[in-house]
Amino acid sequence: MTFSIHRRPSWAISENQATPEGVYLDRRRILQGFGLGMLTAATLAASAGVGRAQDADPTADLYPAKKNEAYKLDRPVTPEEINGHYNNFYEFGTAKDIAANAQNLVIRPWEIEIGGLVETPFTIAFDDLVRKIPLETRLYRHRCVEAWSMTVPWAGFPLKSLVALAKPQASAKFVRFETFLDPEMADGQNDFLYPWPYIEGVTIEEAGHDLAFIVTGAYDKPVAKQHGAPLRLHLPWKYGFKSIKSIRKISFVEERPIGLWEALQPSEYGFWANVNPEVPHPRWSQAMERVLDTGELVPTQLFNGYAAEVAGLYTGMDPATLYM
């Protein structure tokens, strides 16, 4: 007979310390405390409209997904109305409040092409893919390279499940992700300064790690368009620009992909982009981070608090290359 010993991750706390969505503070006080008290009634009404549109989503019956109790937080979940109006989605503009513009994103029909060094390339509709792999909810940190952070109850499935579905060949060393290209739909893609479409990549080892997550939902419903509907990547130990939104194409490749931000400015946005408080961005410190809903400044943690889980992925590698 064998016995397994479960060691709680360094970032885990008891369940009763994670604030449920239904008991968040009064909306007006939250918004005012964060400096968003000037949001108009029309803006909040638009938010409600987004939620109603999600109710008609053909995958809505899959939510809420069962919570995976292994993934907990050391701070309350960020209120949905806060992070729903503070987003980076450059396809729809460079301002943070792009939620309304992001509603132009057409997510039906939506197909994902899976190819490259795989046993058999294929294309699958999102509505079919999301029912092939069991969904779960995980509480995750999200750390932006701009030195702000939030915490989100993402729903979806481990990236490694998608890797298994793709059946990559032994020669595949990296996984390359690509989003849509439609300047008529997404007016930000008319900006010629950016090398569209958005591309990102991870090593095959990173893709196989338990923490790497494909997001299809959040806050007990299909993921909102401004968060990268209908599916996005989330890598909680890396800076947020690595977590590509609205994925259209996944390729298994031998050569390292060059992401949009790395192509634009490699001295500031590297391939690895692992969070490290001791390695500053060339234009600002990463030692502290601003908690999105409270404005509180708190110390940044190595690998965003997931060092015990992911540090082994980088054993023997040059540390100078791993954090930008």
Q: Calculate the alpha carbon distances from 25 to 81, 253, 275 in Å.
A: 11, 46, 30
Sign, CA torsion 261/265/271/277: negative
In this prediction, residue 237 carries a pLDDT of: 98
Q: Are 322 and 314 in contact (CB under 8 A)?
A: yes
In this prediction, residue 301 carries a pLDDT of: 97
> Hey, is 261 helix, strand or coil?
helix
Would you give per-residue pLDDT tens digits along the chain (324 residues)? Answer: 443 444 445 444 444 444 444 433 344 344 444 444 433 333 443 443 444 444 489 999 999 999 999 999 989 999 999 999 999 999 999 999 999 999 999 999 999 999 999 999 999 999 999 999 999 999 999 999 999 999 999 999 999 999 999 999 999 999 999 999 999 999 999 999 999 999 999 999 999 999 999 999 999 999 999 999 999 999 999 999 999 999 999 999 999 999 999 999 999 999 999 999 999 999 999 999 999 999 999 999 999 999 999 999 999 988 878 887
Q: Residue 53 and residue 236: Cα distance in Å, rounded?
A: 28
Q: Are 275 and 304 in contact (CB under 8 A)?
A: yes
In this prediction, residue 53 carries a pLDDT of: 42
Q: Alpha helix locations (H) across the chain? A: 27-33, 41-55, 80-83, 99-102, 126-129, 159-166, 204-207, 260-264, 307-310
Q: Alpha helix locations (H) across 235-276? A: 260-264
In this prediction, residue 324 carries a pLDDT of: 76
In this prediction, residue 43 carries a pLDDT of: 42
In this prediction, residue 65 carries a pLDDT of: 98
116 φ/ψ sector (left φ>0, alpha ψ -120 to 50, else beta): left
